[in-house]
Each structure stands twice: as C-alpha cells, then as structure tokens.
C-alpha cells in the first residue's frame, strides 16, 4: 500500500494527526508522521514563517528511512507552515499543516499559503486530498475559522460591533476616550471624505 503523509505536531505533548496545532514561542516543536507504514524516504520542509521571524524557510530534515522527524523552535506569533513529503519508493504523498501562535490580541495571522499550493481538502473528491491546513482545534472551515480559533471569523466578529465615536467638527482631533473606533464625518460639500480609524491600545 502507498505511504501516507499526515503531520503530527508535538510541543509539550502530541497534537492530533492531520491537525494544525496552536502552541507558543520559545519551546521546541517536533514534527513527525502519523503512520510510517511503507515509508522508505521523506522530507520535512518549513515553507513559510511570519515576516518578523528569525527562522529561515527551508528543509528541516530529509532521509532515506522510515522515521520522518524534524524540529524547530518558533520565535514569534503567527503561522509556521510545514510540508511533509513521504514515499514508498514509487508513489509520493504530501501533507501541509500550520503551527500557529496567537498574538497579544488573540489572533493567529496566516502563513503565505502558496509555494507549494494548498492540498485539495477532504471531501473535494480530488486526488491527494487532506484536511485543511488551518484546521486548528479540528474546525473544518479553513482560514475562515469558527469564531474560537483565532482566525478570520473571530477577528471580524470581535471588531464588527465595537462602539464608535463620531467626530463632525474640524479640524479633526483624536478623541481622548478609549473608544476603539472613531468615525470622522465630513458634513460639508467639498470637505475630506469620511474616515474610519481603528485605534489600537497596543501593537498587534
């Protein structure tokens, strides 16, 4: 039977096979394969890191044997994208998974999801399909998320209904309150356009 690639992350304890992993900075992350039956060669590659990471994308490990394993230590918040390639000597198989770390505001920013292209998702009926690479916590909606996994739905929900302050008098001056949204309303023809300013109390 052909060898199958399905990443398992481990940082202080193993995650679920074929599932993105939410972890932390400064601790070693081990990457292995779920089932090494018929594996004869393998390569594990770090394909993308957050822009402010000191880590460099590249091959973390490769060998002609049946024990795929490699490690890295994440250094900043964001997503570290891992590609696992295995072969039985004839047929290759791949899996892609993200190791994510929330920033100070509780969100996991995405990796660059190309080079290589994402795998077809389970249920698509396409060959080589795997669970979505952003399936943190087992959620199945990819980068959209489920409003609890630090992804887009949670971000949009959190900021969609924030209280706002409307400023109509000019010149515009930033409000002294802590309202996170400020609408600057130009109520005169020929005046500047309305601006929506998102004021964050600390950097993301």
The pLDDT tens digits along the chain (204 residues) read: 799 999 999 999 999 999 999 999 999 999 999 999 999 999 999 999 999 999 999 999 999 999 999 999 999 999 999 999 999 999 999 999 999 999 999 999 999 999 999 999 999 999 999 999 999 999 999 999 999 999 999 999 888 777 777 766 666 666 566 666 666 555 555 555 555 555 555 544
The predicted pLDDT at position 133 comes to 98
* Rounded Cα gap, residues 108 and 134, in angstroms: 10
Q: Where in the chain is the domain with CATH 2.60.40.10?
A: 7-157
What is the distance between the alpha carbons of residues 162 and 180, in angstroms, rounded to a whole number? 7
What token pair was written down for 162? 């924030």
Residue 174 CB contacts under 8 Å (≥ 6 apart), including other chains: 182, 197, 199
The answer to whether 2 and 93 have CB atoms below 8 angstroms apart is: yes
Identify the architecture of domain 7-157 in CATH: Sandwich (2.60)
| pLDDT at residue 204 in the model | 43
Place of tokens 């087992």: 138
The two three-digit tokens of residue 77, written as one number: 């918040």
The values of phi and psi at residue 92, to 5°, are: -85, 160
Measured between alpha carbons, how far is residue 162 from residues 90, 103, 109, 165 in Å?
Answer: 55, 20, 21, 10
Residue 97's contacts (CB-CB under 8 Å, 6 or more residues apart) are 7, 9, 18, 19, 20, 21, 81, 82, 84, 133
């Amino acid at each position: 039977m052909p060898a199958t690639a399905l990443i398992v992350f481990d940082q202080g304890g193993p995650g679920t096979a074929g599932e993105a992993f939410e972890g932390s900075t400064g601790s070693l992350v081990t990457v292995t394969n779920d089932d090494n039956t018929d594996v004869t060669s393998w390569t594990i590659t770090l394909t993308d890191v957050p822009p402010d990471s000191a880590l460099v994308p590249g091959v973390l490990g490769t060998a002609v044997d049946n024990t795929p394993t490699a490690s890295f230590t994440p250094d900043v918040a964001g997503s570290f994208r891992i590609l696992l390639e295995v072969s039985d000597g004839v047929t290759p198989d791949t899996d892609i998974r993200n190791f994510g770390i929330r920033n100070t505001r509780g969100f996991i920013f995405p990796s660059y999801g190309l080079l290589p292209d994402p795998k077809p998702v389970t249920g698509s009926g396409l060959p080589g399909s795997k669970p979505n690479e952003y399936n943190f916590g087992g959620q199945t909606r990819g980068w959209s998320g489920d409003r609890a996994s630090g992804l887009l739905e949670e971000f949009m929900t959190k900021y969609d209904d924030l209280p706002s302050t409307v400023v109509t008098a000019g010149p515009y001056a930033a409000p002294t309150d802590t309202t996170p949204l400020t609408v600057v309303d130009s109520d005169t023809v020929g005046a500047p356009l309305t601006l929506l300013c998102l004021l964050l109390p600390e950097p993301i």
